[in-house]
A and B are shown apart, each in its own frame.
Chain A
Amino acid sequence: TQLLEQSPQFLSIQEGENLTVYCNSSSVFSSLQWYRQEPGEGPVLLVTVVTGGEVKKLKRLTFQFGDARKDSSLHITAAQPGDTGLYLCAGKDNDYKLSFGAGTTVTVRA
């Protein structure tokens, strides 16, 4: 099982501020997926990154896959209270299973 470390574990910011969540591993992944999970619900897919160095934007969210495909980051610009939630990264090391990080709990205060 390949380990994914997410940091920080908790992040609390004021509305309008920017934030970055990191996802790191010593292993190479064929792809990496970011999910958001609300309490009592399943993970909801935000984005998949596949190519080393790839950058994907989803409105105010920017996702980057490291050149070596071992790490990724999620950057949120001008965070809003609606961005509050648990953000999970999950790496695919083969064609079947996902290995999840422990998640970053983001709280955006109004």
Chain B
Amino acid sequence: EPEVTQTPSHQVTQMGQEVILRCVPISNHLYFYWYRQILGQKVEFLVSFYNNEISEKSEIFDDQFSVERPDGSNFTLKIRSTKLEDSAMYFCASSPRYGGGGNQPQHFGDGTRLSIL
């Protein structure tokens, strides 16, 4: 069964450094998302992306964050200058089609654990 793949599985970075998290969504999917889960807390929406532009972003997704689809397969999340509070699991998700009355489920990768020192 097709799946969303994320790399690396664990990233350790010094505070203030830039980090890029990578995702390969399911191949025929058109909508891409990033979520994060701070240890012990809920999964939180960060951003959605369609047709090479951001569809929606949360208040968490400030100027330090950016997303890009540099080629036909990868979807990346960049954090420009990491802070201690950016430590979390970051999940990429994709769905095949917009809306459709909400019938299009989002499929998640296994996440990247980001640890900021």
Interface residues, chain B, with chain A CB atoms under 8 Å away: 4, 6, 31, 33, 35, 41-45, 48, 55-56, 58, 91, 98-99, 101-103, 105-111
Contact = CB atoms under 8 A, between A and B. Distances in A.
Contacts of B110: 40-42
Interface in A77-110: 88, 90, 92, 94-103
* B4, B31, B101, most chain A CB atoms within 10 A: B101
B102 A30 contact: yes
12 contacts: A29-B102, A30-B102, A31-B103, A41-B110, A42-B4, A43-B91, A90-B43, A95-B98, A96-B56, A97-B33, A98-B43, A100-B44
Given A45-B105, A97-B33, A102-B41, 15 more contacts: A40-B111, A41-B110, A42-B4, A42-B108, A42-B109, A45-B106, A48-B103, A50-B101, A88-B43, A90-B43, A96-B45, A96-B56, A97-B45, A97-B48, A98-B43
Contacts, number: 66
Interface in A2-38: 29-31, 33, 35
A44 interface: yes
Main SS of chain A's interface residues? loop
* B4, B6, B91, most chain A CB atoms within 10 A: B91
Interface residues of A, number: 27
Nearest to B10: A40
Nearest to A32: B102
